[in-house]
Homo-oligomer: A and B are copies of this chain.
Amino acid sequence: MTEYDDRISPLHGAGGEMMGKLLAEHVLPHFAASQVGRIDLSAMDDGATLELPVSGELVMTTDSHVVKPVFFPGGDIGKLAAAGTLNDLAVMGARPLALSLAVIIEEDFLMADIDRIIQSFAETLAGSDTPLICGDTKVMGRGEIDGIAINTAGIGIADPAIGDAGAQPGDVIMVTGTIGDHGMALMASREEFHLDTELVSDVDSIWPMIRSILPLGGIHAMKDPTRGGLAAALNEMSSKSQTTLELDQSKIPVRDDVQGLSDMLGISPLEVANEGKAVLVVDPAIADAILETLRQHPLGKNAAIIGHVGTEYPGRVVMTTDVGGRRFLDMPLGDPVPRIC
C-alpha cells in the first residue's frame, strides 16, 4: 500500500494517471452492469451518449449535496445524492434515463469512506434501474472543503411532465408517508445535541413507487418536500396555482418520535426536509385509487390524504390545527437545520 492508497490526495483530482487509477479502481466497478449508450461511463470520454427516446418530454434536474454528517442514521451522502435527483425526476413524472455524479473531496478523505459512499450511490441507482453515465472528480486542500460535496444531475423522460403549479379547486392533497423524518434524524444525529434516539432518515428513491401511480393519471401537481419541508412545498404549490391548500393537521402523518423531538427543540416537523416523500395534488375522482396504489408500495404504506384545494385565500396554505383552530402555514424563511441535504 502506497501513501496514495488509503486517502485522497490532490493528484486524485488532477486529471492524470492518479485520477484514472482512482476511477478505475473505486468507481467504475460499481457501475459495470448498468451501462447504456454507445459511448458509456467506462469510455471515460468528455461526455456520454444516450439513444434518443421515441416520445415524451425531456426532463433535467440537478442538486448538490453537502449533508453533515456524511454518514447519518438511515443513509449517507451517496444514497442521498442518488435519491435526491431520482426523486426530483420522479415528481416531474419522469422515468430516469441517466444520472451524472460530480464529487468534490477534501484532501486526506478516507478512501474507505469513498468506497462506502460510491457503493451506496450505486445501489440506490440500481434500485431505480438508472445508469450513471458521466462524472467529475475534484480535490480541494485540507480546510478548503468540509469532507465531501456531491452534485448529481439527472435526465428523464415524461409523457407529459407533471409540474408543481397545476392544483385546481376541489383537488385532493396527499403525502406518501410520514413527514419530517430526514430533518429530525439529521438533527438528532448532530453530535452537539448528544441525543439518543431511534430516528432514521427516510432517504430513498421514490421512483419505483411513483412509477406505479403514473398510469392512473389524474396527478395535477407533485413535489418532493425537501428543504423547507412540507410547508415550503405546499406554499410553492399554492402560490403558483393561486389556489388555497387547506390542510387538516390531524391527518398529516408524523411519527411519534419525530413529533417528540420537534416539540423538545421547538422546530416544526412540517418545516424540515424529507428525502423519500412526495406531496401530490390529484383529481378527486382518482384520489382513492392513487392512495390505494401508493399504500401497496413499502415506501407508501403511510400515505394519507391531508387536505383539499380551495379558493378562500389564493396563494396561501391554511391549516386546521390539532387543537381545532385554523391558521396560515407560511413559507418558512428557510430550513431550520443547516446542511440537511
Contact = CB atoms under 8 A, between A and B. Distances in A.
Interface string A186-228: 0000000000000000000000000000000000000110111
A50 B124 CA distance: 26
A232 B16 contact: yes
A191 to B, nearest CB: 15
A57 B66 contact: no
Number of copies: 2
A153 interface: yes
A167 to B, nearest CB: 13
Contact of A134 (B61, B103, B145): B61
A7 interface: no
A226 B97 CA distance: 28
Given A15-B226, A144-B145, A165-B43, A52 B50 contact: no
Contact of A59 (B47, B58, B163): B47
Nearest to A97: B58
A209 to B, nearest CB: 16
Nearest to A278: B46
A94 to B, nearest CB: 7
Given A66-B104, A98-B60, A151-B62, A334 B228 contact: no
Given A17-B332, A47-B59, A338-B14, A64 B138 contact: yes
The A interface, classified by DSSP as helix, strand, loop or mixed, is mixed
A233 to B, nearest CB: 9
Interface in A3-56: 10-20, 37-39, 43-53, 55-56
Interface in A129-172: 133-136, 138-141, 143-146, 149, 151, 153-158, 160-161, 163-165
A335 to B, nearest CB: 4
Interface stretch (A85-93, A282-290, A299-307): A85-93
A49 B45 contact: no
A203 B181 CA distance: 44
Shortest beta-carbon contacts, A-B, top 6: A15-B227, A14-B334, A47-B61, A153-B153, A15-B228, A11-B334
